[in-house]
């Protein structure tokens, strides 16, 4: 039963030891066509180049000589460029002294490899340098997957062994003052570029450390791009723009990686520039373009288990900061209550995302978050609060072909008996698959000509654009009648 654990692979090391050199990556990984970047940025070498055995022998020799020569603590004080220069000089000398015969380009590659191992994230570097990757998933030393354009691909990236991988994990998390080892095997961190990192180490991860990186997108997608990708139609885009502008309270619902944060970011793009916006996030991802934004970020407890600032603390504090809109990156817990209160008390136009698979489920998730927050409110009161606060639920979905789509734009109308009533405005309907297995479908209006937020739209003089977009999104049946809601 314990046979799968690679015992002794991971030793609990203090953060300081993170700087200890990983052994050079000595395996020659198989390059896989699928893992090749379509357009790799200039800095990125091929992720899975196969080198001769000789190259790896030379690398090991040079690497070991370097470690003997170099003062690691001094090196750590230099900035990246200076440290590279230093390593370049020493490696050059070692190559001369050891009489290694190598072409200039081989030398450059060797240097790059060694710098990546010493200063950076080793075999991960080429993947980190690529802008087209959404996620990097390392499952132990010999298996690394990436997600590109919505599709999971296995790469040829290998680590020398689990120890090298663990050292790299350690180096990543020590940058944010944390530690990952047997005693605290789960850790969240962030790379300097904003990418989110999770590490779970043995003994919890049975086959070596599992490292997951959600790469930070320098340029978040825009509504225009979402339209180009077929995630929304022109009409749905117009409707979303209006929803964002006219200060509807919005929940964006969807599964992990379905594009919730992307949609939230797009919606914030429609906010007028004279509004004061406060964002609360667990790790800052939103990129608001408005001039008047205050960004807040929650904080996990430190090593001693102290100093935690929860999302709820942030949202509560936010209310004292005279916000006009509050944007909560992801609503996961009792802060749901405070967000709804804010929405109810003059901060309309507030927004948040939440993990649920349908608009209906989003409502029940909100209810249970509030119930579990210990507020001791009757369920009916909670429902009234939810239905009185939320105007619109936008459902995002990652489809089985890897594409991401908005599948519902739904209004929250009110209560009927004990049930919250919802009304779909736009739904995505799957009509079939094409020859390549891609999903075919259409976004269509459900025939609602005058949505509940019509008056709001009128106030902002957006009512004509709204009715036009809804009408244009209608699909009629053979007798010319709108198809209506499903
Ligand atoms: N409509 C879309 N089409 C293509 N890629 C998308 C789309 N929406 C999001 N993405 C990409 O999917 C990844 C996950 O998106 P994100 O918004 O962070 O998801 P979530 O917040 O639901 O976890 C990101 O890399 C993002 O750029
Ligand atoms: Mg998100």
Q: What is the pLDDT of residues 313-369, one digit of tens each?
A: 999 999 999 999 999 999 999 999 999 999 988 889 999 999 999 999 999 999 999
Q: pLDDT band for position 39 (50/70/90)?
A: very low
Ligand nearest to the CA of 329: 2
pTM of the model: 0.74
Beta bridge partners of 482: 476
Q: Which of 119, 118, 101 is nearest to 63 (CA)?
A: 118
Residues less than 5 Å from ion ligand 2, measured at CB? 261
Separation of alpha carbons 271 and 277, rounded Å: 9
pLDDT of residue 458: 95
Residue 259 Cβ contacting ligand 1 at under 6 Å: yes
DSSP β-ladder status, 144-148 and 133-139: antiparallel
Confidence (pLDDT) at 296? 95
The mean pLDDT of 226-240, rounded to a whole number, is 94
Question: Residue 227 C-alpha to ligand 1 middle, in angstroms?
Answer: 14
The number of beta carbons lying within 10 Å of the beta carbon of residue 381 is 11
Q: 194 near 284, Cβ under 8 Å?
A: yes
Contacts 24+ apart (CB under 8 A), 256-259: 256/355, 257/134, 257/135, 257/147, 257/398, 258/396, 258/397, 258/398, 258/404, 259/231, 259/396, 259/398, 259/404
Query: Which residue, among 336, 364, 356, has the nearest Cα to 420 in the 3D structure?
Result: 364
Q: Supply the pLDDT for residue 122.
A: 85
Q: Which of 111, 108, 60 is nearest to 87 (CA)?
A: 111
Let me know: does 153 contact 34? Beta carbons within 8 Å. Answer: yes
Q: How large is the average pLDDT for residues 48-74?
A: 75
> Of all residues in the chain, what percent carry a pLDDT higher than 90?
52
Count Cα neighbours of 441 within 13 Å in the Cβ-side half-sphere. 23
How far is it, in rounded angstroms, from Cα 409 to Cα 359?
A: 9
Token digits for 437?
């297995």
Q: What is the chain's mean pLDDT, rounded?
A: 84
CA gap 125, 172 in Å, rounded:
12
- CB proximity list for 416: less than 8 A, separation 6 or greater: none
The ligand 1 atom at the shortest distance from the C-alpha of residue 214 is 25
- Ligand 1 pocket test target in 150, 262, 284 with most atoms within 8 Å of CB: 262
Q: CA 456, 293, 255, 235 torsion: positive or negative?
A: positive
CA 330 to ligand 2 center in whole angstroms: 7
Nearest 5°: phi and psi at 239?
Answer: -65, -40
Is 84 close to ligand 1, i.e. is its CB under 6 Å away? no
User: On the CB side of 119, how many CA atoms lie within 13 Å of its CA?
Assistant: 22
Contact 427, 485 (CB under 8 A): yes
Out of 42-56, 142-156, 167-181, 303-317, least confident range = 42-56
Mutate to test the pocket of ligand 1, among 259, 328, 354, 399 (most ligand atoms within 8 A of CB): 259
At 115 the pLDDT is 83
Residue 212 neighbours by CB distance under 10 Å: 16
Kindly report, residue by residue over 245-282, the tens digit of the pLDDT: 999 999 999 999 899 999 999 999 999 999 999 999 98
**C-beta 262 within 6 A of ligand 1:** yes
């Amino acid at each position: 039963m314990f046979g799968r654990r690679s015992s002794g692979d991971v030793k609990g090391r203090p953060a300081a030891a993170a700087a200890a050199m990983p052994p050079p990556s000595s395996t020659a990984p198989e390059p896989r066509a699928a893992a090749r970047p379509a357009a790799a940025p200039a800095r990125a070498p091929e992720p899975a180049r196969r080198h001769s055995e000789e190259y790896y022998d030379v690398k090991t020799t040079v690497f070991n000589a370097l470690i003997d020569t170099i003062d690691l603590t001094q090196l750590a004080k230099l900035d990246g460029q200076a440290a590279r220069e230093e390593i370049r000089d020493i490696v050059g000398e070692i190559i001369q002294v050891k009489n290694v015969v190598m072409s200039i380009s081989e030398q450059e590659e060797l240097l790059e490899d060694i710098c990546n191992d010493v200063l950076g994230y080793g075999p991960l570097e080429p993947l980190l340098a690529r802008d087209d990757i959404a996620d990097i998933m390392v499952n132990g030393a010999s298996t690394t997957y990436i997600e590109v354009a919505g599709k999971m691909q296995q790469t040829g990236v290998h680590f020398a062994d689990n120890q090298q991988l663990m050292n790299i994990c350690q180096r990543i998390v020590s940058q944010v003052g944390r530690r990952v080892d047997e005693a605290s095997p789960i850790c969240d961190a962030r790379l300097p570029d904003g990418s989110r990192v999770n590490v779970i180490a043995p003994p919890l991860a049975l086959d070596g450390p599992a490292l997951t990186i959600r790469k930070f997108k320098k340029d978040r997608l825009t509504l225009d791009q979402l339209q180009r990708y077929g995630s929304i139609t022109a009409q749905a885009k117009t409707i979303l723009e209006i929803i964002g502008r006219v200060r509807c309270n919005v929940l964006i619902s969807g599964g992990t990686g379905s594009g919730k944060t992307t949609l939230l970011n797009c919606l914030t793009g429609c906010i007028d520039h004279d509004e004061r916006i406060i964002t609360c996030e667990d790790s800052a991802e939103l990129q608001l373009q408005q001039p008047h934004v205050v960004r807040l970020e929650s904080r996990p407890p430190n090593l001693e288990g102290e100093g935690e600032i929860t999302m709820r603390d942030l949202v509560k504090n936010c209310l004292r900061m005279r916000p006009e809109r509050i944007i909560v990156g992801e609503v996961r817990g009792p802060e749901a209550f405070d967000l709804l209160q804010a929405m109810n008390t003059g901060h309309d136009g507030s927004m948040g995302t939440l993990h649920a698979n349908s608009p209906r489920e989003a409502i029940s998730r909100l209810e249970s978050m509030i119930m579990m927050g210990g507020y001791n409110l009757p369920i009916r009161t909670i429902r009234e609060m939810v239905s009185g606060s939320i105007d619109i639920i936008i459902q995002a979905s990652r489809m089985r072909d890897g594409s991401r789509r908005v599948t519902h734009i739904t209004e929250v109308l009110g209560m009927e008996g004990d049930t919250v009533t919802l009304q779909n405005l736009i739904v995505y309907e799957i009509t079939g698959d094409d020859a390549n297995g891609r999903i075919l479908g259409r976004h269509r209006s459900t025939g609602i000509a005058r949505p509940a937020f019509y008056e709001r739209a009128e106030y902002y003089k957006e009512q004509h654009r709204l009715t036009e977009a809804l009408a244009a999104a209608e699909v009629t049946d053979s007798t010319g009648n709108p198809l209506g809601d499903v």
